[in-house]
Amino acid sequence: MLTQGYSLPCLTVALSFSQLSGHHKDSFASTHWAHLEGLGGVHLITLTGVVKVDLEAEHGLFVKEKSNWVLEDLNLEIALPKALVSADQAFRVIRSAPLITLNGIGGVSTVGWSVHEFSGPSDTLLTDSVPLTATIGVYSTGEVLHRIGYSVTLTGRLEPRA
């Protein structure tokens, strides 16, 4: 959601990036994963990486408004490693611990960048990917949030795919 702050009019547009889509392949970098199988069939999976988002506050966009924050919803679809979840399996998430953070910034004026909030899946069945959502922002005209970093740790169990 592109917002102008406070109760001002907004334009609903979301940034969406999927690791499963060939169209977004170049948007993802430095992707890593780690896996540990614990007692009772509980698995711990951590996925990390960087995503090129290029959110920019356009020059002169909000100069007469009460707030110069540009906020936008961000949707990420992070691929589950095929080495961990086979075609006939799904991963039942018990809990997740997501983190989305600033990674690359730039601009020409009074600066400000933010990750306002973020969330990940809980108590859900995943087959191919892990959905992460966030609200990210840039302050003032000419500022650019180039990249965000993500890390999500999942605990869960492997189940037969329905």
Q: Order of strands across the sheet with 14-18? A: 14-18, 69-79, 129-139, 113-119
C-alpha distances (whole Å) from 98 to each of 45, 46, 159 are 12, 9, 22
Task: Give a yes or no: residue 3 inside a domain.
Answer: no
This prediction has a pTM of 0.82
Task: Give a yes or no: residue 47 inside a domain.
Answer: yes
The two three-digit tokens of residue 35, written as one number: 């896996």
Task: Give a yes or no: residue 126 inside a domain.
Answer: yes
Number of domains the chain contains:
1
Task: Give a yes or no: residue 97 inside a domain.
Answer: yes
Answer for the pair 18, 24: CB distance below 8 angstroms, yes or no. Answer: yes
Band of pLDDT at residue 10, cut at 50, 70 and 90: very low
Answer for the pair 94, 121: CB distance below 8 angstroms, yes or no. Answer: no
Of 15, 24, 125, the closest CA to residue 80 belongs to: 125
Task: Give a yes or no: residue 7 inside a domain.
Answer: no
Task: Give a yes or no: residue 5 inside a domain.
Answer: no
Out of 99-103, 141-145, 155-159, least confident range: 141-145
Q: Order of strands across the sheet with 28-37? A: 28-37, 43-56, 144-160, 89-106, 124-126
The two three-digit tokens of residue 132, written as one number: 């992460």
pLDDT at 2 over 60: no
Task: Give a yes or no: residue 66 inside a domain.
Answer: yes
Q: Tokens 């990249």, residue?
A: 147
Domain that holds residue 27: 14-160
pLDDT in tens, 43-88: 999 999 999 998 887 654 443 344 567 788 999 999 999 888 888 9
pLDDT in tens, 12-35: 357 899 999 888 888 999 999 999
